[in-house]
Structure 1
Amino acid sequence: MQIRRRLKIASTLLSSATRSSSLSAWASRGKAFVTSPPSRAVRTNFNYYLRPLLAQRQDPTTPKTLAFPTSAYLQSLHTNNSIMTTITYSVLAEQNAATTNQIIDHYESNSAFQSLSKSEGDSTLRRDCEDGEKLQRGIDLARERGVLDPNFVPEQYISIDVLGKTPDQVADEILGTVKERSKGGSGGGLVILCGLSGTGKGTTVATLKSKLETQDGKTVVCWSNGNVFRSLTLLAVTWCEQQSDCDGFDPAKALTSENLASFAGMLEFGKFNGRFDTKICGLGLDLLVSEVQNTVLKGPKVSKNIPTVAEVTQGEVVMFASSAVKQMGEDGIFVLLEGREQTVNYFRTPLRFTLTLSDPSLIGKRRAAQRLAAAALGDVKESSTAEEIEKAMDSQLAMMSSES
């Protein structure tokens, strides 16, 4: 992408120069390079935009006096895609936004990549739609049961188009609003990020966390509702185990409105052992989530029943989580919350952002590039050349295209 941008800019600059000088005679005869020196401004722009690219491509037999390319020659390079992005091992190993951007640029005109991107984009949007519908059903159920206020109106979202922006640029744009609205205060707060899959929410959250901690000296927590759902599931399963008339987990008996209210009351958020944590206390359990999140809460009896419990506990989880992040914010902690609007709507904060892509095709391209990068990395070594890496990516692309 950087290469094509330089080609386009330099082509425009030189085209403008040749139209008003004797260089046009050379350009009209189709010469690749011209001998008459352009203006100082054009030479400066040429040195910045094109010399690094042409240094590796000029025919060594070409006379050194032919120093400046014509706009027609530059345009032919861009049109014919004869200068392609080279993917090195160091770039591939990063597995980050820079990696996916270079892969997208590398395969920009590749029909197989375009087809894979469309397939990935369609499936991503379909999953987003299905997930959104499931979440909305859970929210509607919570409203009907009186757990959530049906008349609740969230603060307005600030939309940010991430097209052409790096994670640093997106994070800086968000932080600019955060600092403006906090009026230089030293306290904490809640920052919410929404957006379709593929818009870079996870990367942006990680970048925000790093900047808030290193540049502003803030204490930052990335909140996830996952452990709250797991805690409620553990309580529901434990309740069934204690009932003589339950043969295993029985959703119909365990997930009544009365039981769900009781289970939610067995969760307490606060400071334990000097730090914020969630305590599970009830039905004979006395656990801190931080101590069992990778053991008990990820055990089979919890994991296999989470989808069933999550479908009917959206309201309880939202209420618990909104209270928890409020406590942390009041204690000077910055909380970053990534999620879908259906649930994060119920968290009070003016710092809510929606990441968008004005070119939705990039969602599929990013997904396709991420898959290619991960698969190709397993096929190459640190000592692999750019040609070997390209061959590995081509092989993976062919395989993925045949499956899509």
Structure 2
Amino acid sequence: KTGQVVVSSGGQTRTVSCSNSLSVTVEPLPDVVAGAVSPRSTMVGESTTLYGTISNIGNESTGRSFTSTFKIDNDANHSLLYSSRQVTTPTVSAGSNRSIQTNVTFPSPGVWYTQLCADQNASANGVIDESNEKNNCGAWVQVTVDALPTPTATLSAVPSSIDNGQSSLLSWSSTNTTACVGNNFSTGGATSGSEVVSPVSNTTYTLTCNGVGGSAQDIKTVTVVNKPDLSVSSVTPSSATAEEPVALRTTVSNSGSITTGSSFTNTFFIDNNSSHGSVYATQSRTMSALNVGQSRTAEASFTFPTAGTWYVRACADQNALGTGTISEFNESNNCSSWRTVTVAQPVPPTPEAEISISASPETVSPQETATISWSVEHVAGSCSVSGTNGQNFTARAPSGSRETIVIDARVTYTLSCTDLFGEQQTASVTVNLVPEFQEI
């Protein structure tokens, strides 16, 4: 450094030039700084990992490890820190950085704040001699903490009302859950599924599902009803003949859990139209009470008036108007399906055989002949005529005649035929001789 100095002495002033030099040595030091903390969002109640980076922007290594602090706060003014986490940071070389992390659980949803400070313990004191002690902390970062998802649980029972001995299907599902348990049924821990149950009395089923956001519950009750349940089999027969009575039959069964308690009406519905808009006829019969598991045959006689295709069905506990008196568990299974009945034309009755035989003349003189005549109807094949005099011949339908041989004595001719029923039918005629008069 150079300059001038003014010197005064004895009333005289003199300017004197002078020079001097100063040597300054700068000592190398580290300078640790913290970056922004991540993440920016998380869920309440979950363990969240906070990440941060410590960088040494100085020109010397830290030479040792040091403490860095994650600060957590729920106040934007940061007047009173909520909590902090201290993390030991290994030595950081000049121009290098270190990634550090810690875990924290945010206790409530809302807006929170995090900050990372290098070379600061819980009391904000450090151990590293730095070139700048005022840039150790990163900026405060806003963290959105969402509420945990609310769990839901849904339980269904189909059907919810069953007859004693029948089953119901329990089905369950849930959202935002990790496991479900059932009361009076087993879920196996599954969050969704189904199970068949067969209670013998009214039973309440409870589903409880748990998740990080809490628990949810649903309740269903299966009602067990004790009632009779009547059903019928398909009607028989499937064929009939017009104008001839036929017995319509069906089997009525009680598959319920109690007796019908009283008698009831069963009805056969007869129709000649496949649309069954208005049935042709009905035949109703009363049946005495049916016990549990009991079956009985219902029968009614009906004469189909014409040949063709007819339809028949039977309904238990229904009168001709379709109404009943027995309260049943299932009222929709009382009727059978429509049975198609093929009705044939009536077969004409088999006529009885008509046979006759005659002789002309019926009285002859010795050594004379007579004529045998016959008439036959409704016979099977030919007939035969046999005489007691040994004369035999065939009598063909429907009529005919044959001369006899010479008659010397009283003779009987018999006409024999087989009728349409396979039975033997006969008719006879006798030819007599004129009596001879003897003198006495």
Same fold (TM over 0.5): no
Higher strand share: 2
| TM-score of the superposed pair, with normalisation by structure 2 | 0.19
For the pair shown, the structure with the greater C-alpha radius of gyration is 2
Higher relative contact order (CA 8 A, sep 6+): 1
Higher helix share: 1
| TM-score of the superposed pair, with normalisation by structure 1 | 0.20
